[in-house]
Amino acid sequence: MAQPLVRLFLLWAISLGWIAVLQALGAGVGFRIGPLGEDFNWVYFLQHHAEYPAQKAFWEHDSRNPLAPWWYLAVKPLVIDTAYGIYAVRKVVDLVCGLSVYALVASLGGAAYRRFAVVSGALGMLWSCSGIVGQINWTMLMAASMSLLAVAAYVRFLDSGRAEAGWLVGALLLYLAAISTYTLQASAPLAIAGLGAVRLGWRKGLIDALPFAGVLALFGMIWTTVGYVPSETLSVDGPALSRLAPSLLAWVWDPVYGDVLRELWGYYRRDLIFCAVGAVALGVAFFRLCAEPGRPAGGRRLALELGWAVAGLGAGTVALEMTSVVWVPGTRAPMIQQLMMPLLVTIGLLFLPVRWARGVRLAVFCGAALLALGANARQTRWSADLERIGAGLKAAVPRITSPTMFVLTQPPLGLSPYNSDIFVKNLYRSDNVNLKIFAPGRAGVATVEYADLVFDSDAKGMLAENTMGHRGFILRKAPSWVPYRSVVLMRYDDSGVRRVNVLRKEDTAGYQVTFHREQPLYAGERKPGPPLHLERWEVAGGPRLEGGVLQLRGQPVSIAQHLVPLQADFEYVVEFEARAEGDTSAFYADFYGGQGYDAAEQDHTIGELGREFRWVRFVIPAGTAPPAQSWLRLVNPSPGTVWVRSARISRLDTMEVGLLRP
Query: pLDDT, tens digit, for every residue of 566-618?
Result: 988 788 999 999 999 999 989 999 998 876 677 777 888 987 789 999 999 98
Which class for 661: exposed (0-12), middle (13-18), buried (19 or more C-beta within 10 A)?
exposed
- Residue 540 maps to a domain: yes
Q: How confident is the model at residue 2 (pLDDT cuts 50, 70, 90)?
A: low
pLDDT: which is higher, 418 or 168: 168
End-to-end CA distance of the chain: 63
Q: What is the mean pLDDT of the chain?
A: 87
User: How many distinct structural domains can be found in the chain?
Assistant: 3
pLDDT at 1 exceeding the cut of 80: no
Q: 566 and 514 in one domain?
A: no
Among the ranges given (163-172, 261-270, 293-302, 630-639), the one the predictor scored with the smallest mean pLDDT: 293-302
Q: Give the helix ranges, DSSP H, for 25-84.
A: 39-47, 54-62, 68-74, 76-80
- The pLDDT value recorded for residue 441 is 80
Of 359, 382, 405, which one is at a domain's C-terminal end? 382
- The pLDDT value recorded for residue 553 is 85
Q: 266 and 125 in one domain?
A: yes
- The pLDDT value recorded for residue 660 is 30
- Residue 353 maps to a domain: yes
- Residue 25 maps to a domain: yes
- Residue 202 maps to a domain: no
Q: How confident is the model at residue 658 (pLDDT cuts 50, 70, 90)?
A: very low
Contact 623, 599 (CB under 8 A): yes
Query: pLDDT, tens digit, for every residue of 10-30?
Result: 999 999 999 999 999 999 999
Contact 69, 16 (CB under 8 A): no
Q: 355 and 331 in one domain?
A: yes
- The pLDDT value recorded for residue 662 is 23
- The pLDDT value recorded for residue 326 is 78
pLDDT at 659 exceeding the cut of 50: no
Other residues' Cβ atoms within 10 Å of the Cβ of residue 269: 10
* 573: β partners: 619, 650
- Residue 233 maps to a domain: no
- Residue 97 maps to a domain: yes
**Average pLDDT value for residue range 446-455:** 65
- The pLDDT value recorded for residue 231 is 59
**Average pLDDT value for residue range 626-654:** 89
Of 382, 415, 443, which one is at a domain's C-terminal end? 382
Of 324, 358, 382, which one is at a domain's C-terminal end? 382
- Global pTM reads 0.81
pLDDT: which is higher, 257 or 478: 257
- The pLDDT value recorded for residue 254 is 86
Q: 532 and 519 in one domain?
A: no
**Average pLDDT value for residue range 381-397:** 91
Q: Give CA–CA dist 637/359, Å, rounded.
A: 79
Contact 137, 128 (CB under 8 A): no
Angle (CA) 515 489 624, round 5°: 80
Q: 299 and 260 in one domain?
A: yes
Q: Give CA–CA dist 424/434, Å, rounded.
A: 6
- Residue 459 maps to a domain: yes
Q: 542 and 505 in one domain?
A: no
Q: 547 and 513 in one domain?
A: no
**Number of H helices and number of E strands within the chain?**
18, 21
- Residue 475 maps to a domain: yes
Q: 126 and 13 in one domain?
A: yes
Domain that holds residue 108: 2-34+83-136+239-382
Q: How confident is the model at residue 518 (pLDDT cuts 50, 70, 90)?
A: confident
Q: 353 and 243 in one domain?
A: yes
pLDDT at 408 exceeding the cut of 80: yes
Q: 545 and 518 in one domain?
A: no
Q: How confident is the model at residue 654 (pLDDT cuts 50, 70, 90)?
A: low
- The pLDDT value recorded for residue 299 is 85
Q: Give CA–CA dist 444/438, Å, rounded.
A: 13
Q: Which of 227, 252, 229 is nearest to 318 (CA)?
A: 252
Q: 547 and 455 in one domain?
A: no
Residue 547, SS3 per DSSP: helix
Q: 570 and 508 in one domain?
A: no
Query: pLDDT, tens digit, for every residue of 193-220?
Result: 999 999 989 999 999 999 999 999 999 9
Q: 110-129: buried (b, 16+ CB within 10 Å) or exposed (e) per residue?
A: eebbbbbbbbbbbbbbbbbb
Query: pLDDT, tens digit, for every residue of 182-194?
Result: 999 999 999 999 9
- The pLDDT value recorded for residue 476 is 55
